[in-house]
Amino acid sequence: MDDLLKQVFQDDLPPEIERRMKNQFIQFKENIERADQESDRTSRIIWQRFFKPISWDWLRWVIRKEVMAFSSMIMIIVGGFLHVSGHHNAMAKTLSFLNTSVSISNQVQEAKSMECKMQVTAEDGLHLTYTIRWFSPEMTRADVYEGEIAIKSLWVAGPEIVVADYINTTYHKYQSLEQIEDHEFMAVMGFLSPERLAAAIYKEWEPRQYRKNDQIQKGTYVYLNDGGKVALEMTVDMNTNLPVRIKKFAFDPTRTADAYELTMEAQFSWDKLNSPQHLIPQSQRDNLGAKDILKIRS
């Protein structure tokens, strides 16, 4: 069988046939390679036509070494000049704002004592006046006035929290500030200790914009809170990084223009030496005996 096959398929093709067969193989191979390269070649032709020298003659002048060298020098000089001349940039302003907010929060937290006078417009239109004093980071007293008369007082002395109601002559002790139910103190909760005010500035108030007045060394910082429903404007003494005034504006959806309405204004005096006798309200000092004070303190 093997011999038969060898005889039938002898490797003795005529030279002409063999040459043509080889040519056929080569052509076949070339066709396959050509098909593979066809896509590359098409894009190459398009690009070569697009970038042919005549189309870009004008570019030759631009990319001349002299022109490029001159342009680069101009770019460096203009760039440097713009930077040195304090080119307006919103990011630089934001970085400055953030760092100042961190500094204010830190300064408030480290404050030893403070006295704050606050005016609040309640939802029912009632105007209340507050005096808040920090004697130390853990010792605070807040008085609520209706007109000139103190109606309530709040004492915080470490873990001890007492609310005195002068109208109903009642005293209540609380374990934490969150337990206080007197609605008069709700508006000033964030101001009852350095820690609370510092935390509000750092964690809750969202920075918006600021402007500085270098002549009087004051800066005005605007924050948003409660998802934009409340706007806070804080005036800061740039020498101490401590707030001297905070205004609170509530968003009024019923009004079309000037939709924010002033609801609170607080004026701060920092590191005033507060006497411990201020723990008792001035108007009530004569009415309360030592026994009552001891009751409150205990």
Q: Pick the binder of other proteins from 232, 242, 264, 266 (CB under 8 A).
A: 242
Q: 3-class DSSP state for residue 251?
A: strand
Strand locations in the chain (E): 114-121, 127-136, 139-146, 149-157, 160-165, 170-174, 206-213, 218-225, 230-237, 242-251, 260-270
Could you give the C-alpha distances from 269 to 31, 42, 80, 256, in angstroms and in order? 91, 79, 44, 36
Q: How far is the CB of 175 from other proteins (least distance, A)?
A: 27
Judged by CB under 8 A, does residue 207 bind other proteins? yes
In the complex with other proteins, the residue whose CB is nearer, 17 or 90, is: 90
Q: How far is the CB of 215 from other proteins (least distance, A)?
A: 16
Question: What's the rounded Cα separation, in Å, for the pair 278 and 226?
Answer: 34
Judged by CB under 8 A, does residue 80 bind other proteins? yes
Judged by CB under 8 A, does residue 69 bind other proteins? yes
In the complex with other proteins, the residue whose CB is nearer, 18 or 36, is: 36
Judged by CB under 8 A, does residue 112 bind other proteins? yes
Q: What are phi and psi of 296, to 5 degrees?
A: -65, -45
Helices assigned H by DSSP within 9-64: 15-50, 57-62
Question: What's the rounded Cα separation, in Å, for the pair 246 and 21?
Answer: 97
Q: Which of residues 155-194 bind other proteins (CB under 8 A)?
A: none
In the complex with other proteins, the residue whose CB is nearer, 13 or 82, is: 82
Binding mask 19-58 for other proteins (x = CB under 8 A): --------------------xx--xx--xx--x-------
Question: What's the rounded Cα separation, in Å, for the pair 86 and 216?
Answer: 21
Judged by CB under 8 A, does residue 78 bind other proteins? yes
In the complex with other proteins, the residue whose CB is nearer, 71 or 282, is: 71
Q: How far is the CB of 111 from other proteins (least distance, A)?
A: 8
Question: What's the rounded Cα separation, in Å, for the pair 71 and 74?
Answer: 5
Separation of CA 199 from chain center: 14
Question: What's the rounded Cα separation, in Å, for the pair 127 and 263?
Answer: 9
Q: Which residues bind other proteins (CB under 8 A)?
A: 39-40, 43-44, 47-48, 51, 65, 68-69, 71-76, 78-80, 82-83, 86-87, 89-103, 105-107, 111-112, 201-209, 223-224, 228, 239-242, 270-271, 273
